[in-house]
Amino acid sequence: NMRERFLCYREMWNWIRTYRTDLWNDLILAGDYLLSPNRNLLRKLDRTYSRFDSLVSAGETFIYVDQDTMETEVFGDRIIIPFLEKEGLYDGVPSDDEMAIKELERLRRSGANFIVLARPAFWWLDYYSDFSSYIRTRFNCALKSNRLIVFDLRKSVAASLG
C-alpha cells in the first residue's frame, strides 16, 4: 500500500542522508577500480598504496580486516590473513572485543607483522572499543588514510615504554 511504500522510502532517504559521504567515497573508489583495465589504477592514483608498499615488504604477513569485501591484488606479493580467520579463510566478525584481541594476538604470535583495516571495516574501531583501545595503546599506527589504517605489530609500544 502507498503508506508502507512512503515509510520505506523515508527510511531509505534517512539512511542515504546519514551515510552520503561514505557512499560518495565508495562510489568513487568503485569507479576508479572498474575503469581500470588492469585493476592497478588504484595503486597508480592513490598514494596510500605506495605508502603501504614502502611500509610492508613483499613476502611479509599482515592481518587484513575488510569483512571480505575488497580485492586484495593491490597488495602484491604479501601474505594476507583475513580477520577473523579459520583455516586460511575469512570467518566473519568477532562476537566481542575479547575474541578480537585473542585472535589478534594468536595471529601476531604466528608471524603477522601488521594489522590493516580497510575502509569497509573502519566501524570496528568504534564498535569494538576495547579492541580499538588495545591496538591503539599497544602498537604504532604506521599509516592512516581514508582507505587504510595500518598498525605495526612487530614492536609493542607498551613494552618499549616499560
Grade residue 90 by pLDDT with cuts at 50, 70 and 90.
confident
What pLDDT, on the 0 to 100 scale, is given for residue 15?
74
Convert the pLDDT of each residue in 121-131 to its tens digit. 899 999 999 99
57-72 mean pLDDT: 86
Q: Locate cell 566478525: which residue?
A: 93
Do residues 100 and 106 lie in contact, with contact meaning Cβ atoms separated by under 8 Å?
no
45 — pLDDT class (breaks 50, 70, 90): very low
Q: Are 115 and 131 in contact (CB under 8 A)?
A: no
Query: At 132, is the pLDDT very low, low, confident or very high (cuts 50, 70, 90)?
Result: very high
User: Do residues 58 and 112 make contact, with C-beta atoms less than 8 angstroms apart?
Assistant: no
* Cα separation values, 85 from 41, 108, 112, 127, 142, Å: 29, 13, 12, 19, 23
Q: Band of the pLDDT at 64, cuts 50, 70, 90?
A: very high
Q: Among 155, 144, 137, which Cα is nearest to 122's? A: 144
Note the pTM of the prediction, 2 decimals: 0.70
- pLDDT band per the 50, 70, 90 thresholds, residue 28: low
Q: In terms of pLDDT, which residue wins out, 92 or 31?
A: 92
What pairs with residue 9 in β-bridges? Answer: none
- Cα distance between residue 155 and residue 160, in whole Å: 8
